[in-house]
A and B are shown apart, each in its own frame.
Chain A
Amino acid sequence: MLGTVLVESLLRAQLRLAVTTLVPLAAIAIGLPLAFHLAPELSDLHVLGAPVAVLLLGVLIYPVLLLLGWSYVRRAEQHERDFAELVEIAQPDPPPNR
């Protein structure tokens, strides 16, 4: 049935989007500790008077998380709008929403 195919493709699109959003997060979570483990001298680095680790983990990471979340929501809603349009075309007279 056409509806099933459309739902399948929506599910796949949303899952792909979820993975692309989580990859940068995983890179930060794995990479940052690893970088400091391999090169402990990084912790002596100061930017604007603050240790670089404090700057990264205390300040800069929060806008990054917000940005990832915001762009995820924008694209997830876009997928849903596309899906709704396709359903309109496929089902001109939809059954009542039970």
Chain B
Amino acid sequence: MITSVPSVVAVVLVAIATLAIGTWGLRLSRTTSDFFVASRSVRPALNASAIGGEYLSAASFLGVAGLVLVFGADMLWYPVGWTAGYLVLLVLVAAPLRRSGAYTLPDFAEARLASAKVRTTCTLMVVAIGWLYLVPQFQGAGITLESATGAPPWLGAVVVATVVLVNVLSGGMRSITFVQAFQYWLKLTALLVPAIVLVGVWLGDGRPSPDGATNDHWSLPLADGGGQGLYLTWSLIIATFLGTMGLPHVVVRFYTNPDGRAARRTTVVVLALLGAFYLLPPIYAELGRVYGERADANVLVLDLPRLMLPGTSGEMLSALVTAGAFAAFLSTSSGLSVAVAGVLTQDVFRGPRFTGVRAFRAAAVIAVVVPCVAAVAAPDLGIAKAVGLAFAVAASTFCPLLVLGIWWRGLTDVGAIAGLGTGFISSGLGVAYSLSPFTTSGWFDVLLSQPAAWSVPLAFTTMYAVSRATASRVPSHVRRFMVRLHTPEAVALDRG
């Protein structure tokens, strides 16, 4: 194992910077509203950087380059889907979601359907999706620290969980906004600077091409296996395009916009920031095909500078990339922890013993500790694979709820619960299958390992059909609520 002093220093610096910015934010956050949604005063440019910082997780920073290196161009659909998901969110959800005036997904569901049962169902799903997404972040942190220092894999998970917990406990969402915005720019720099240097090295070497040893299908943007490959690719596209809007940490971020118009403008800036970032991982994958035959694909991004530039300069660049990777784990897990802690505060830690900020702190401990333990105990699924499943679950549950809730008056509480349950169970089958030691082959394996292409339509159909069958339960305030969702704030309309 390589022990790299610059990488250790980089990890420590990122942790200190994160905590310092978090503490600076503490002085600005005073009330419960500050803790949850930064009192809704975050401007588009800052908020978009924060969304980018929060969203670009271990899977984006480490996973994409390794996947493209090993499996080829079809893996490019991951970053494309993670970006296109924001376009779908912008067009169908952003402004109305902000105008609904709710803090979280369960808040939205309750306000729209006037049902405590729908609220509870949503709370369970937010926690499930949040934890499913947190586990690979913590595992990724373990792999990164192991690669940089030779430390045992559980140590990285515990370090990241501790920094996140301290940060969330001290400042909540307000400080998180500054931390996240800082981390987007850190992550971009940490991939961009080494990429420029390494491309320079490649040009200096006379632009060698890959050996041709990698498989013939490398430049085919489709999974292997004919019809099954086409299904897998489409299913991945559906999960990522539609799952983004249902991720708890993404949705919470939208409530921090001052109004619906700002929510839209923020999303467009996010599209630009994500697009700029995702230009970089394929460069590492291409260079990895030439220089990286000795690299471990999981940590290709971390190892490539060392492999291409032996000596101090390579070590320094590897340290920079390691810093970026740590920023990725810290920011995504902070955002997810705040979102999970937010719903737990509102729906679980209630009653006289738990008030305001104290309840939020108790919830934050649960939100972080459970997935951290799971990350240490659970088998390593591969970061992008586990994150992909979280997208499939989000696309099969909250996507139908949001889209039908915002654009269709006929949605009922019974229909919502039926659709959420169907989507959750069918996509959950895929999660259970991937976690279990049980394996199979053929179409059964294909359908279970990438369930979105059938579970999303199934959830939509169930939600629609059951709502139609229970049409008498359409809430009486739906007309007024629709007016509120779609009317610009500038218009002084009776919003009820």
Determine if B407 and A15 form an interchain contact, defined as CB atoms under 8 angstroms apart: yes
Q: Mark B71-112, 1 if CB is under 8 A from A, else 0.
A: 001001100100110111011100100000000000000000
CA distance A79 to B494 in the complex (A): 19
Q: Whole-angstrom distance from the CB of B218 to the nearest CB of chain A?
A: 8
Which residues on B sit within 8 Å (CB–CB) of A34?
Answer: 230
Most buried by A among B86, B217, B492: B492
Q: State which of A68, A96, A98 has its C-beta within 8 Å of the C-beta of B87.
A: A68
Flag whether B222 is at the interface (Cβ < 8 A).
yes
Determine the interface band of chain B, counting residues with CB < 8 A from chain A. Answer: 35 or more
Determine if A25 and B222 form an interchain contact, defined as CB atoms under 8 angstroms apart: no
Q: State which of A40, A52, A56, A98 has its C-beta within 8 Å of the C-beta of B495.
A: A98
Flag whether B219 is at the interface (Cβ < 8 A).
yes
Q: Output the nearest chain B residue to A40 by Cβ-Cβ distance.
A: B220
Which residues on A sit within 8 Å (CB–CB) of B218?
Answer: 51
Within 8 A of A (CB), among B455-496: 479, 482-483, 486-488, 490-496
Q: Whole-angstrom distance from the CB of B278 to the nearest CB of chain A?
A: 7
The B contact surface, by secondary structure, is helix
A65-B275, A69-B271 known; A10 vs B83 contact (CB < 8 Å): no
Q: Whole-angstrom distance from the CB of A23 to the nearest CB of chain B?
A: 11
Most buried by A among B271, B276, B286: B271
Determine if A33 and B221 form an interchain contact, defined as CB atoms under 8 angstroms apart: yes
Determine if A83 and B488 form an interchain contact, defined as CB atoms under 8 angstroms apart: yes
Determine if B84 and A21 form an interchain contact, defined as CB atoms under 8 angstroms apart: no
Determine if B279 and A58 form an interchain contact, defined as CB atoms under 8 angstroms apart: yes
CA distance A83 to B487 in the complex (A): 9
Which residues on B sit within 8 Å (CB–CB) of A62?
Answer: 83, 271, 274-276, 278-279
CA distance A21 to B87 in the complex (A): 9
Q: State which of A11, A17, A56, A94 has its C-beta within 8 Å of the C-beta of B482.
A: A11
Determine if A87 and B407 form an interchain contact, defined as CB atoms under 8 angstroms apart: no
Q: State which of B73, B86, B91 has its C-beta within 8 Å of the C-beta of A54.
A: B73
CA distance A37 to B225 in the complex (A): 10
Determine if A76 and B264 form an interchain contact, defined as CB atoms under 8 angstroms apart: yes
Q: State which of B265, B407, B482, B493 has its C-beta within 8 Å of the C-beta of A97.
A: B493
Q: Output the nearest chain A residue to B78 by Cβ-Cβ distance.
A: A57
Determine if A3 and B493 form an interchain contact, defined as CB atoms under 8 angstroms apart: yes
Which residues on A sit within 8 Å (CB–CB) of B495?
Answer: 97-98
Determine if B219 and A44 form an interchain contact, defined as CB atoms under 8 angstroms apart: yes
Q: Whole-angstrom distance from the CB of A85 to the nearest CB of chain B?
A: 10
Determine if B221 and A94 form an interchain contact, defined as CB atoms under 8 angstroms apart: no
Determine if A66 and B272 form an interchain contact, defined as CB atoms under 8 angstroms apart: yes
The interface stretch among B148-156, B233-241, B342-350, B419-427 is B233-241
Within 8 A of B (CB), among A28-79: 29-30, 32-34, 36-37, 40, 43-44, 51-54, 56-59, 61-63, 65-66, 68-70, 72-73, 76-77
Flag whether B282 is at the interface (Cβ < 8 A).
yes
Flag whether B261 is at the interface (Cβ < 8 A).
yes
Q: State which of B73, B217, B272, B486 has its C-beta within 8 Å of the C-beta of A14.
A: B486
Determine if A70 and B77 form an interchain contact, defined as CB atoms under 8 angstroms apart: no
Determine if A43 and B91 form an interchain contact, defined as CB atoms under 8 angstroms apart: no
Which residues on B sit within 8 Å (CB–CB) of A53?
Answer: 73, 76, 219-221
CA distance A63 to B272 in the complex (A): 8
Pairs A–B under 8 Å by Cβ, sample size 20: A4-B479, A7-B482, A7-B483, A7-B493, A11-B407, A11-B486, A21-B91, A29-B241, A37-B230, A51-B219, A53-B220, A54-B73, A56-B221, A61-B80, A61-B83, A62-B278, A66-B271, A69-B267, A83-B488, A83-B491
